[in-house]
Amino acid sequence: MKTNKSFKKRVKVTKNGKVIARTPGHNHFNAKESRSKQLDRKNSQEVQMSTKDKSRFLANL
């Protein structure tokens, strides 16, 4: 099965197999948000995926 390239561009897979993605919701409409909330979104977060989903979207990694 082929790797889903559009999904692969949005995530990073660590050497231990964790899938890391950018926290959503900080492209625009951030003037209302508190500074602490803006800074919290700056960090990436781990994406919870089943083994089946990993093999489907990240087959060749």
pLDDT tens per residue across span 1-56: 788 888 888 899 888 888 999 888 888 888 999 999 999 888 888 989 888 888 88
pLDDT at 61 > cutoff 80: no
At the second CATH level, the architecture of 5-57 is: Irregular (4.10)
Best CA proximity match to 42, nearest among 17, 22, 21, 15: 22
Distance of CA 21 to the CA centre of its chain: 2
- Model confidence, pTM: 0.66
Q: Cα(first)–Cα(last) distance of the chain, in Å?
A: 11
Predicted pLDDT of residue 6: 87
